[in-house]
Structure 1
Amino acid sequence: MPRPSSPAEAWHLLAEGNERFVTSSSSHPNQDALHRSRLASSQNPFAVIFGCSDSRLAAEIIFDVGLGDVFVVRTAGQALDNAVLGTLEYAVDVLGTPLIVVLGHDSCGGVTAAVESFHSGQMPSGFVRDVVEKITPSVISARRRDVKDVNGTVREHSIQTAARLVESSKIISEAVEAGKLGVAAVTYSLEEGRASLVSGLGSLD
């Protein structure tokens, strides 16, 4: 398939792939030996997907894409840190990727832990605390909108994370302003398999 050249084309291609996945008609593109060989010396992904590490959220499967199509970054609860920002900047600045997708999902364990911590006032032990601390601002934002349930907070977390990465990175914000990059906040239904766009920065229409 031809590589999308705009944020809107990239999102439409992912949405079409997700629809195939939802309807059990996935085509499994770009997964053959010849394509693998062609990619050995370079890559040219059309989207970078920053999603949760949950085992049920395999980006290439749910968007029905193949080798070399998407640049994937995953952390628990899609917690944003400097290493993630640097990786996203690499995808945008070096690889010229026209779309970033921030991918959250219902019943997210990371968001659940942050909501429970906010309610109880107790933080988890170990480095899980770092994950919860990075998600907590989204929990607070959701509460300000009178959203208290986990799935509603997941939606708010995806929106807030998309906004924060644009605010935090000059490379990303300038690419959005120039019309070269779009940032999509997306939520995923584990049972239905559908990825739904909930907000976007840049032109995704």
Structure 2
Amino acid sequence: MSSTSSRRRFLTTALAAGVTLTACSKGAPAPAPTGTTPPSGTPVRTGQEALARLVAGNTRFVADRDERLDEGLARRVAVAEGQHPFATVLGCVDSRVPIELVFDQGLGDLVVVRSAGEALDQSVIGSLEFGVAELHTPLLMVLGHQRCGALDATIKALDAHQRTSEEAGQIGYLVETLAPAVRRVAGRPGDRLTNAIHANVDLVLAKLRQSPVIAPLETTGKLKLVGAYYELDTGRVLLT
């Protein structure tokens, strides 16, 4: 077996099961977790069922009627030795958009990957591929949101004709990555930032569909890809 294959097999096993490092206190081991369970409620088998569950959860969130399922000590113990998430969600790092809360989900329910403006790089794409291919989530959602700061900063940088190399650290990389969405909506009627946010979701989905891991899963019907937009003002998630 090649070293690359060995590393991939180890990563898959470790992340899927969860590697637990236990610190012993005076020789007394911590009690072992007692098992693993899938998310509460009706089993999710398809992308459409997963999407329906997210939509229902967001409806509860908007109405301030969260059920807070899959939380607490019992759930934490139940998922300690394994996970069975039903959806993978790519969202922004914005602190006002906590993915699990927005969809009223709990421990072990979602694979959440976050980057500023949903910007894609190898690590982000690889994490999404892991969610859908190794953890077998039947749904992959790209979630943009109202008044995205990363895209707003990109608009301002482009308007100022600022070179990305002038940005400190890796912020310039973000501007460069998000710039195509801003350029795509140039001259389009409506709010420029909102238009760019929607365009960015579309571009991210298009790029993910080029993944040699993600594309076959969608083609064979094992995976559903969707775009969505979170309204900060209302808490609603709108499918795009």
Q: Same fold (TM over 0.5)?
A: yes
Cα deviations by residue, 1:109-164 (Å, 9 ceiling, x for unpaired): 10001111222211433211111111111112222755661112111111211111
Q: Which has the higher contact order (CA 8 A, sep 6+)?
A: 1
Residue 137 (1) aligns with residue 177 (2): no
Amino acid across the alignment from 1:36: R
Amino acid across the alignment from 1:126: G
Amino acid across the alignment from 2:197: V
| In structure 1, distance between residues paired with 2:234 and 2:161 | 34
2:222 — aligned with what? Answer: 180
| In structure 1, distance between residues paired with 2:182 and 2:103 | 28
What are the residue-to-residue correspondences of 1:1-205 with 2, within 5 Å? 1-122=41-162, 123=164, 124-143=167-186, 145=188, 149-167=192-210, 169-198=211-240
Could you tell me the TM-score, scaled by structure 2's length? 0.79
| In structure 2, distance between residues paired with 1:50 and 1:25 | 24
Cα 1:47–1:149 shift into 2, 3 Å = same
Among the aligned pairs, what percent are the same residue?
35
Count of residues paired in the alignment = 197
Cα RMSD (Å): 1.4
Amino acid across the alignment from 2:219: E
Q: Which runs of 5+ in 1 are unaligned?
A: 199-205
| In structure 2, distance between residues paired with 1:66 and 1:2 | 15
Q: Which has the larger radius of gyration?
A: 2
Could you tell me the TM-score, scaled by structure 1's length? 0.92
Amino acid across the alignment from 2:161: G
Structure having the higher strand fraction is 1
Instruction: Please say which of residues 85-94 and 125-134 is displaced more in the overlay.
Output: 125-134
Contact 1:166 1:173 in 2 (8 A): yes
